[in-house]
Structure formats: structure tokens, C-alpha cells
Amino acid sequence: MKVLGISFGRKNKNGDVLVKHALFAAKKARADVQFINAIGMKIGHCIACDYHGKAIAAGEVFPKCPLKDDYQILEDAVWDADGIIIGAPVYAVGPVGQFKNFLDRLCPFHDRALMIEENKKRKAAGKPELDPRFFKDRYIGYISTGGASTHNWVSRGLPTLALFTFSTCMKAVGHVDAYNMGTIGHPLLDANLMDTCADLGKTIAVSIGKPYDQVDTWIGKQGVCPVCHNSLIDLDGSGDGVSVECPICGIWGDASINNGKLEVKFSEAEKARARSTLAGVYEHYNEIHGFIATSGPKVQANKDFIEKEMEKYRHFDQIIAAM
Ligand SMILES: Cc1cc2nc3c(=O)[nH]c(=O)nc-3n(C[C@H](O)[C@H](O)[C@H](O)COP(=O)(O)O)c2cc1C
């Protein structure tokens, strides 16, 4: 069993130290470990070329992103691992952009529901199935580092890191919000922080091989959402004034004020349909197929109108200059 640690921070600075400390604990718990610092890697952004979808449709077993940069090194390391720790510094209130580039290129293209359905078709047709490593259950933990002493300067850190878990259906077992580094000075000077990272590494290592329903450990702050354990709550869009949504998991809860304290309760049914679960990715898979079925005929029926109207958008520069 292997635990992979990826740090998007500076070499041997805060995030590196915390991820490596978690890996020491994973190693003590008998895992093989691998550490990658990504700061110098070239990881460009997804350009929505749809190569991956076409490669899957063409029967490829291991479709690779066609952009030629260092991205594939990280993707290969993910598939070789059974457990993952991602560390990323907070830049401008959320994780560094390089992490988001990595997420955008890896996660949506390895949607578990899409790959299960693709393999069903391949099996029926007697064709080679997708790489089995795409279907392996994995445990994951997140470490967000920030310099500011107030949480409001890192509020998008852990919640955005948690988005790495969906599509691929990994199960998160903890997160560490290592902000206030400017005041702490050095991670080694905060024994609690170091211990929490060690707990995270150990928990990932000892969880590997267990079915998801047998692991309910959570390392780090519990938060409001019982699935991703973040506390971002969306108050808009419910209509009845009581329901609120975890925007990371896409699940609804009931808010109430008890003894002056705001509480949110999420039902078991809602927890079971969180974005990171198989039921959650199937919900999205079905939604995508639904809108293809709706928009296809609509666009076809309005083809001439759209074509005529698009002229002014295609020739925007000339038209705007003449106005
Ligand atoms: C461009 C930039 C933006 C930053 N923005 C924030 C921020 O919004 N909130 C915060 O707490 N720290 C911010 N920081 C500080 C880093 O998050 C902090 O130094 C962190 O520990 C760096 O991680 P590392 O030591 O692993 O590289 C920023 C740093 C840089 C370079």
C-alpha cells in the first residue's frame, strides 16, 4: 500500500514540512510513501479540448491528457497510490491556482459513473476495459497552509481542496487548516499542528484496504457539513427559508436556532447523495445526459436562427469598431 503526498507549496517550507510529517506517520503505520513537490512543475490549465471523451469513445484503456507538460507525472502518481495527502498554500483566500489546474485536468475526466457505464458497454462488446486503477477506492486528506492570523483569509482553502474528492469518489478522512503561519513562525513550533498532521497520515495508512462504510474517522475540525466537514453554507436558493446547502457536497440540511446557536441537520439520505459518493456522481452523470437530450434537439430546431445571429459575435472586432 502506498501513500502519496503532493505539496503545492514552496520547497521545505510550511506545506512541505506538514505533508512530509504526515508521510512519516504513514510510513510508521507500514505504508510505502512517495512525496512530490509540484511548485516547479508546469501544469497548464484545461483547455476543454474534449480529447479525453473522444479517446474513451474510441476505446482507449488509459487516455492521457494531450497537453504536453508535467501534469501526467502527478496523474500517474495518483493512480499508483492507495492513499493521498494534498497540501496547498492559500493564495488570495483559496488554494494556489496550480492545484486547481491539476484538479480540473484530473477529476472531471475520471468520473466514476461515466467510467462504470463505459466499462459496461465495453464488457458487452467484448472490448478491453478501462485501466482498473481508475476504480480503486482511495483515502485522502488535505492540508491547507496560510499566513494570515484570521480564518477569513483562508476561508476558501480547505473547501476548495475538498473538491478533489468528487468525480473520482475518494473518501476524505481529515483536513488540517494550518493558517496563522505568519505568527506561528514555523510549523515545528506548533506541536498540536504537527500531531494533527501525523494523525492524518496514520489514519490514511490504516484505512487503506477497508471498505468506505467501515471508516468513519475524521481528523481535524469537524465543521458543519458531516461529509466534507467544512463550514461553508449556502443560504440562497432554498425558497422555504429553512433549508441550507453545503456547496462543496451539494447536499441540503435543515437550519434552526437552538438556544441562540445556529445548527444544521443533514439527513442520512442527503449525506448518501453527496458529490463525492457514487450516488452523487451518478446524479451528475444522469443530469449531463438529460441536458444533452434536451439541448440537442433545441439547437437543431433553431440552427438557422443561431447561425445568422452568431455572425455579429464572430465578427465582434469589426462590428464594434464600426459602432
Ligand atoms: C501570492 C500570495 C498570496 C497569498 N495570499 C494569502 C491569503 O489570502 N491568505 C493567507 O492566509 N495567506 C496568504 N499567503 C501566504 C501563504 O499562504 C503562506 O505563506 C503559506 O504558508 C505558504 O505555504 P508554503 O510555506 O507551503 O509555501 C499568500 C502568499 C502569496 C505568495
Residue nearest to atom 25 of ligand 1 (CA): 14
Residue nearest to atom 3 of ligand 1 (CA): 91
* Any atom of ligand 1 within 6 Å of the Cβ of 15: yes
In this structure, the residue with its CA closest to atom 20 of ligand 1 is 146
Average pLDDT, the chain: 96
Ligand 1, atom 17, lies closest to the CA of: 146
Residue 144 near ligand 1, beta carbon < 6 Å: no
CATH 3.40.50.360 location in the chain: 1-221
Return the amino acid letter for 30.
Answer: R
Q: Which of 74, 136, 126, 60 has the alpha carbon at shortest distance from 105?
A: 74
- Report in angstroms the alpha-carbon separations of 188 from 12, 15, 26, 202: 12, 12, 18, 18
Q: Residue whose CA is closest, atom 28 of ligand 1?
A: 91
Question: To the nearest 10°, the Cα dihedral for 157, 238, 250, 224?
Answer: 50
Q: Is the CB of 9 under 6 A from ligand 1?
A: yes
Atom of ligand 1 nearest to the CA of 13: 25
pLDDT 10s digits, 40-67: 999 999 999 999 999 999 999 999 999 9
Model pLDDT for residues 159-199, shown as the tens digit of each residue: 999 999 989 999 999 999 999 999 999 999 999 999 999 99
CATH of 1-221, one of 3.40.50.300, 3.40.50.360, 3.30.950.10, 3.40.190.10: 3.40.50.360
| pLDDT one-digit tens code per residue, 5-21 | 999 999 999 999 999 99
Ligand 1: distance of its center to the CA of 147 in Å? Answer: 5
Residue pair 253/268 in contact by the 8 Å Cβ criterion = no
Q: Which atom of ligand 1 is nearest to the CA of 92?
A: 8
Average pLDDT over residues 284-307: 93
Note the pLDDT of residue 291.
Answer: 86
How many A from CA of 84 to the centre of ligand 1?
Answer: 22
Please report which residue ranges of 139-239 form alpha helices under DSSP H.
Answer: 157-161, 181-184, 191-207
- Edge-to-edge strand list for the sheet holding 261-265: 243-246, 251-258, 261-265
Q: With a 6 A CB cut-off, is 187 part of the ligand 1 pocket? A: no
Percent of the chain with pLDDT strictly greater than 70: 98
Name which residue leads in pLDDT, 237 or 142.
142
The full length of the chain comes to: 323
The b-or-e profile of 139-160 (16+ CB within 10 A means b, else e) is: bbbbbbbbeeeeeebbbbbbbb
The radius of gyration of the chain from alpha carbons, rounded to an integer in Å, stands at 22
State the pLDDT confidence band at 290, using cuts at 50, 70 and 90. confident
Per-residue pLDDT reduced to its tens digit, 223-282: 999 999 999 999 865 556 688 999 999 999 999 899 999 899 999 999 999 999 999 999
Atom of ligand 1 nearest to the CA of 181: 21
Could you tell me which residue, 91 or 108, shows the higher pLDDT? Answer: 91
Kindly give the residue spans of alpha helices, DSSP state H, lying in 302-322. 303-314, 316-322
**Residue 292: what pLDDT?**
82
Q: How many other C-beta atoms lie within 10 A of the C-beta of residue 40?
A: 7
pTM score above 0.85: yes
